[in-house]
Amino acid sequence: MDMHTFFDTSAVVPLLLEEPHSNAARIVWAEAGRDGFAWRWLKVETEAALTRRRAGAKVWQAWERLEFELNWIELPDRELEAVCRFNRSLGLRAADAAHLFVAERLSRAFDPLMLATFDQDMSAGAMELGLKLAV
């Protein structure tokens, strides 16, 4: 059975570029199967990371496959005030707050929903909210 898993950028980039968390990220990705979710902004962050690190054609092709396999979640503009309020107690960086906001909302539909992140601040915020961590 696939595990519903929400990925933030810190858990996706190691799938594409060799990083200290690459092995753990691959395990989480495999466990998620077809039930991997991400907020649409992850595309911008991932492509920025690949561009800055001068990724080759094979990495970009791997990203295209991975991008196709993710279930993308939109964050409508009307939710921006809610994200701001949500983050007041957490104090995360802007994009991290939005990733976690989307994950928390998605966890209401999928129980359990695992959060795949290697970001310490986001992990701490997730634990504070009672979200389950995949790593």
* For the chain, domain boundaries: 5-133
Mean pLDDT computed over every residue of the chain: 97
Reported in sequence order, the residue ranges of 49-127 that DSSP labels E, i.e. its strands, are 71-73, 114-116
Task: Using pLDDT thresholds of 50, 70 and 90, give the confidence band for residue 127.
Answer: very high
Residue 117 has pLDDT above 80, yes or no: yes
Is-contact 21 116, C-beta < 8 A?
no
Task: Using pLDDT thresholds of 50, 70 and 90, give the confidence band for residue 65.
Answer: very high
Q: Classify strands 132-133 and 5-7 as parallel, antiparallel or unpaired.
A: unpaired
> Given this model, what pLDDT does residue 55 score?
98
pLDDT above 70: percentage of residues in the chain:
99
> Given this model, what pLDDT does residue 11 score?
98
What is the mean predicted confidence (pLDDT) over 76-94? 97
Long-range contacts of 117-120 (CB under 8 A, 24+ apart): 117/7, 117/8, 117/10, 117/11, 118/10, 118/11, 118/14, 118/21, 118/24, 118/25, 119/8, 119/10
| Cut 0.85: pTM above it | yes
User: Domain 5-133 - what CATH class?
Assistant: alpha beta
Task: Using pLDDT thresholds of 50, 70 and 90, give the confidence band for residue 2.
Answer: confident
Residue 46 has pLDDT above 70, yes or no: yes
